[in-house]
Structure 1
Amino acid sequence: MTTSLDLVALFMLGLFGTGHCIGMCGPLVVALPGQTGRFSAHLAYHAGRLMTYTIIGGLMGAAGGGLLRLAASVGASPMAWVGRGQVAVSLLAGVLLLFFGLSRLGLIAEPDWLRIATPTRMPGWRRLIAKAAHRRSNLDLLLMGLLLGGLPCGLSYAAFAKALAAARIFAGGSAGLVFGLGTLPGLLAVGAGAGLLLNRYRRPADLMAGVLMLGMAAALLVRVVAFMGA
């Protein structure tokens, strides 16, 4: 289950992750909606991005729920298997959050595929920007937000790990959406030209994001230990 406290933590994770978002999504925000001079263009782009977060979160929640239903269909005691399924899902999500939290604190290295996944290294990046320069309607930017919202990102993957533990489509989608809303103020500020100011506080924000991830991981792992000890 996803509690209101979990949603607050996910929102704060997105908010404190602004420093990371500057490096990952900042170039996209500046190059795409930022060049239009229209605030509606920013709203369209971020609406697409938040839709992608919500969809992925919902899919992760559905996957977690599917694991629980699979557990319930096996064995003579469905409730016992559901409990074991919840333990397995929570353990997986907790380990993922622990990994991403430690990497955000700089205690372990992020995988190379996450560190090199910057927008400028995307195949067809220049062609995408050239197209945006000629066709920058709000619909184009909405579609770009939908597409680029799935870029590899340790912060968003941590939120999706939490969505997995929610084990329900609606709860998982809510987790993805709330995290995305947390990233919105910082990225809107980047679009307004405040990127240099926000970048100054990137390291403290990264540390806070890492601590939040570790806190969510600890909460999930404590539930696992409590269930196993029951």
Structure 2
Amino acid sequence: MQINKQINIKGMMCGGCETIIEDAVSEIEGVSDVHADYPSAKCKLSFDDKKVRLEDIYKIIEQKGYAIDLNSETKGGVFIKISLSILALIGIVLLMVFSRKLWHQFSVPDISSQLSYGMIFVVGLITGLHCIGMCGSFVIGYTVKDAEHGRSAYLSHILYGTGKTLSYAMFGAIFGFIGSVVSITPFISGVSILLAGIFLIIFGLNTLNVFAVLKKVRFKQAEAMARYANRKRRNSRSPFFIGFFSGFLLGCGPLQAMYIMAAGNSDPVEGAKFLAAFGLGTLPALLGFGMATRWLSGTMTRRITQISGIILLVMGTMMLNKGLMKTKSGYDFKSISTELTQQLNNK
């Protein structure tokens, strides 16, 4: 008998998660249709209950690092979440308006060239926790093969990391070239950094599951390209190409922010270096997650990922401030602090 079912899923963090769930569930015999939606955290599917049990579908989804939410959210729960979101927004506004002494004493670091690479590496390091869900199964795949043949996985890890970093650098160079072709001005460059900061802030808020409406703010990758990349990763035997085609999955929020920054630099070389730093940052968490999963439960891993959202908010705020400084809008933190101080002194 054909059954239509809607599943509530916890743990989806970007459009790439939709592809992971859809690809995994569509391979199950008896499933005829599946559509995952990140903003609503739901998955609609049709399956033949004579060929597959719903519990087996749940298990496949959970193996990909997600959790099935069997308890529909109550009205009280929704009210609490909305109330907390409103209070968080009011708190941020009050902090920015009334804490002039804090802004005066706390100077947000300027993002020089070297600090930029360091920041981008840290953003990649945090994003690597999310990469575990998207790419972890492929790392396990070649690691298991190495173990079966009595080989060390170190060389495979190096090949995978090299392929992924080169892929990111290639796309960074492409976006940097596009930026140079359209002759991006310093003002537009500042706008691109500002947008990158906004993307990181939105991704951080989504990681914390605050302001769910922001999940609708995204650039959705063409499904054909995502399917192509996943098919190539599955069919590739070499860890290098598995890593290389991972770079073709452009649905990740922080990754999209890095591409915007690469275009804003209007330099293919700088764009490649930015994305290479980001790619290298994603590797430690991804390649070391096998050891981490032995010690951490799925719930604890999700908690750590949520905590990383706070760090993304800080990084995004720093990038946003740098963008405002570069556009010379007068709305960066230092300018606002200086203006407030002058107004108080005049009084």
| TM-score, normalised with respect to structure 1 | 0.74
Question: How big is the shift at 1:53?
Answer: 0.7
Contact 1:61 1:164 survives alignment (8 Å): yes
1:23 aligns with 2:23: no
**Counterpart Cα distance in 2 of 1:111 and 1:34:** 38
Contact 2:176 2:268 survives alignment (8 Å): yes
Tell me which residue corresponds to 2:319: 216
Tell me which residue corresponds to 2:243: 145
Contact 1:52 1:149 survives alignment (8 Å): yes
Contact 1:102 1:214 survives alignment (8 Å): no
**Counterpart Cα distance in 1 of 2:312 and 2:274:** 16
Contact 1:103 1:110 survives alignment (8 Å): no
Moved over 6 A (4+): none
Tell me which residue corresponds to 1:194: 292
Structure with more strand by fraction: 2
Tell me which residue corresponds to 2:308: 205
Number of aligned residue pairs: give it.
Answer: 202
Tell me which residue corresponds to 2:168: 53
Tell me which residue corresponds to 2:202: 102
SS at match of 2:288: helix
Question: How big is the shift at 1:216?
Answer: 1.0
1:86 aligns with 2:183: no
Deviations 1:166-215 (A, max 9, x none): 2211111110011111111111102x432463825111113212321232
Question: RMSD across aligned C-alpha pairs, in angstroms?
Answer: 3.1
Change (3 A) 1:157 1:169: same
The answer to which structure, 1 or 2, has the higher relative contact order (CA under 8 A, 6+ apart) is 1
Question: How big is the shift at 1:219?
Answer: 0.7
Question: How big is the shift at 1:225?
Answer: 2.6
Deviations 1:53-85 (A, max 9, x none): 1111112222222222xx7xxxxxxxxxxxxx2
Tell me which residue corresponds to 2:115: 5
**Counterpart Cα distance in 1 of 2:317 and 2:144:** 34
**Counterpart Cα distance in 1 of 2:259 and 2:239:** 24
Contact 2:233 2:245 survives alignment (8 Å): no
Structure 1 runs not aligned, ≥5 long: 72-84
Tell me which residue corresponds to 2:181: 66
Deviations 1:111-149 (A, max 9, x none): 57759x8xxx946957954x45xxx3xxx2212221121
**Counterpart Cα distance in 1 of 2:188 and 2:272:** 20
Contact 2:199 2:254 survives alignment (8 Å): no
Q: Which amino acid aligns with 1:94?
A: L
Change (3 A) 1:176 1:113: closer
Q: Which amino acid aligns with 1:40?
A: L
Q: Which amino acid aligns with 2:165?
A: L
Contact 1:33 1:45 survives alignment (8 Å): no
Q: Which amino acid aligns with 1:169?
A: P
Identity %: 23
**Counterpart Cα distance in 2 of 1:18 and 1:89:** 26
**Counterpart Cα distance in 1 of 2:231 and 2:249:** 16
Change (3 A) 1:166 1:125: closer
Structure with more helix by fraction: 1
* Larger Rg computed on CA atoms: 2
Change (3 A) 1:64 1:123: closer
Q: Which amino acid aligns with 1:215?
A: M
Question: How big is the shift at 1:87?
Answer: 0.9
Q: Which amino acid aligns with 2:113?
A: T
SS at match of 1:21: helix
Paired residue for 2:262, among 145, 153, 163? 163
**Counterpart Cα distance in 2 of 1:124 and 1:58:** 19
SS at match of 1:150: coil
**Counterpart Cα distance in 2 of 1:29 and 1:110:** 30
